Structure 1
């Protein structure tokens, strides 16, 4: 379910959607100088990551959905932990979590967007080892 060949593997580990080997981003999502900059091509299988100019603008919609999911998860964790916070405290914790996770949310959103358009190819993965 999470091994090579699954979309989840490529998305969460920020790997090439086609070969699951090459790095998807130029550097780590929290490298603020290169935050969430996608490589031009996969260093392993040479897949061109940009189908057209402004290709990753669509990932903003995915980013919104991922942000909402993170906010709901934080809210549920607060409720399950039994911590007594008022509405303002819960709001503050959710905002803090979203701010801290913003680079990761952006990177994962671009990876999800790319995985909509590029499919895993086991033949390419085998040939480029």
Structure 2
């Protein structure tokens, strides 16, 4: 088993317990099945979704991502394009939000699971599941 760092496991959306199993059934950059997450880790069989509404709290993180996106778009457009019209701001935020929605939704769930989930890293979790 490969020893994966915490930051790489989070970036690659891996299970917090074994850091090997995928959290999502599709790619992180996919627009299909945006909100689907495995109930159990395919590698170590850890319960990823401890209760039915566990990931509702991830909406707060997703909201923070959206606010940060809007603030950054406003700063960049104001600084580089000398304060354009309001519709330029609106369209830029709309397009950026549509493009980044899969990343924001999925990484909000990853951050929520790693931050508030009860799963602790066990380097031998995958081996224990096989036995």
Shorter-chain TM-score bucket reads 0.7 to 0.9
1:1-129 aligned at under 5 Å gives the runs 4-6=4-6, 8-29=7-28, 30-32=30-32, 34-79=33-78, 82-84=80-82, 85-116=84-115, 117=117, 118-124=119-125
Q: Which has the larger radius of gyration?
A: 2
Task: Give unpaired runs (5+ residues) of structure 2.
Answer: none
Paired residue total = 124
Q: What's the TM-score, normalizing by structure 2?
A: 0.78
Task: Give unpaired runs (5+ residues) of structure 1.
Answer: none
CA pair 70-126 structure 1, distance change in 2 beyond 3 A: farther
RMSD: 2.5
Q: What's the TM-score, normalizing by structure 1?
A: 0.79
